[in-house]
Amino acid sequence: MTKTKINRTDAEWREILDPEAYRVGVKEGTERAFTPGNFQDEKRAGVYHCKGCGTPLWSSEHKFESGTGWPSYWKPVDPAAVATKTDFKMVYPRTECHCATCGLHQGHVFRDGPPPTGERWCINGAVLDFRPSE
């Protein structure tokens, strides 16, 4: 099922998100590695939802320890839930990922992850809401 795209003004984002989630998600920033509470160390089963709109994006079933200091997944819950674009903010191009529903910046995907996909979706915990399994 395709969700309706959500477009918010800057003022609406500032009202919905805390300052760090706004900086990371709207301004396409990056939280510091190993930030306490960024879900990197979360071990419970559950689903990680977009903080901007509640769309389920990442599952604990696809999470792995990458050693990078950010929560990492080898695939999204649904490929259609995550949009990508090329990011030229560093010396080399990277693939940036966003929530396909509301556009909130999530992080980047790299091709150095584990099987079966070989992908490492390196995600900022500041833009996630974790919902543990019942």
pLDDT band of 2, cuts 50, 70, 90: low
State the pTM of this model.
0.92
Going across the sheet that includes 120-123, the strands are 63-64, 72-73, 120-123, 105-110, 94-99, 82-87
* Topology (CATH level 3) of domain 10-132: 2.170.150
Burial of 106 (0-12, 13-18, 19+ CB in 10 A): buried
- Predicted confidence (pLDDT) at residue 1 exceeds the cutoff of 70: no
Domain layout of the chain by residue ranges: 10-132
Q: Is 82 left (phi over 0), alpha (psi -120 to 50) or beta?
A: beta
Q: Phi and psi at residue 7, in whole multiples of 5°?
A: -120, 125
Is 102 noted as a catalytic residue in this protein? no
Q: Which residues pair with 86 in a beta bridge?
A: 95
Tens digits of residue pLDDT in 74-101: 999 999 999 998 877 767 788 999 999 9
Burial of 56 (0-12, 13-18, 19+ CB in 10 A): middle
User: What spatial distance separates the first Cα and last Cα of the chain, rounded to whole Å?
Assistant: 24
Please give the residue that has the higher pLDDT: either 29 or 134: 29
pLDDT score of 88: 72
Instruction: Select which of 53, 97, 99, 122 is catalytic.
Output: 122
Residue type, 96: E
